[in-house]
Structure 1
Amino acid sequence: MAKIYSKKSLVTKKMKPEKEIVSFLLNYSKALSIIKIEDKNFEIIAN
């Protein structure tokens, strides 16, 4: 069982996001603004 944990896993390579995806998510989060009026939330994208 110790051998299983000592091997390098292939999952970590597949889990790395591409630079384009990270850039897209960061730009999206910068453009998103949420306005709360009483009990309602309004999401506005500035692009």
Structure 2
Amino acid sequence: MAKLYNESIPERVTPLGPKDDTVKFLLNFSKALSVMKIKNMTFETLNN
């Protein structure tokens, strides 16, 4: 049976994360998004 393991990598890996502008954009978009359900239909509107 084969051994399953990872060798240590000497190079340092920097953690990835979203930019501040991306987070602000998504938060503002979610605040402006309005979803209304009427009977069996769903309406999505952006309230700017």
Q: Give CA deviations for 1:7-40 in whole Å, capped at 9, x if unaligned.
A: 8544x23xx0000000000000000010000011
Runs of 4+ more than 2 Å apart: 1-4, 7-10
TM-score normalised by L of structure 1? 0.71
TM-score normalised by L of structure 2? 0.69
Q: Which has the higher helix share?
A: 1
Structure 2 residue ranges without an equivalent (≥5): 1-5
CA distance in 1, matches of 2:12, 2:27: 30
AA aligned opposite 1:17: P
CA distance in 2, matches of 1:9, 1:38: 51
Q: Does 1:18 align with 2:19?
A: yes
